[in-house]
Amino acid sequence: MPAVVDEASGAVRFRIVVDKNGRIESVVPVSSSVSKRQEELCREALLKVAFERTGTSLGRTTGYYTFTITVR
């Protein structure tokens, strides 16, 4: 989980494209209610992730990932 840089709760949702080797090809925000800096930290965290194929797909896969940030 990326660091929280604002004192505000919110969420950011990304569309991610993963290649056949599990590496992320692209991360694009599709909705966000957090600051641009918080959004960028979440994006950077996603770029460090590698995925493992579990199905029979031989090509790219597109999916979504949502960070929900709660400040108490």
**What are the extents of the domains in the chain?**
10-69
pTM of this prediction? Answer: 0.84
* Residue-level pLDDT at 20: 85
How is residue 2 annotated by DSSP?
A: P
Query: What would the pLDDT profile of 30-63 be if each residue is shown by its tens digit?
Result: 999 999 999 999 999 999 888 887 777 778 889 9
The larger pLDDT score, comparing residue 71 to residue 33, is at: 33
Nearest CA among 51, 38, 50, 49 for reference residue 2: 38
Distance CA 9, CA 70 (A): 5
- Inter-residue contact 38 to 12 (CB < 8 Å): yes
| d(C-alpha 15, C-alpha 60), whole Å | 13
Decide if 50 contacts 22 (C-beta within 8 A): yes
Which is more confident, 20 or 4? 20
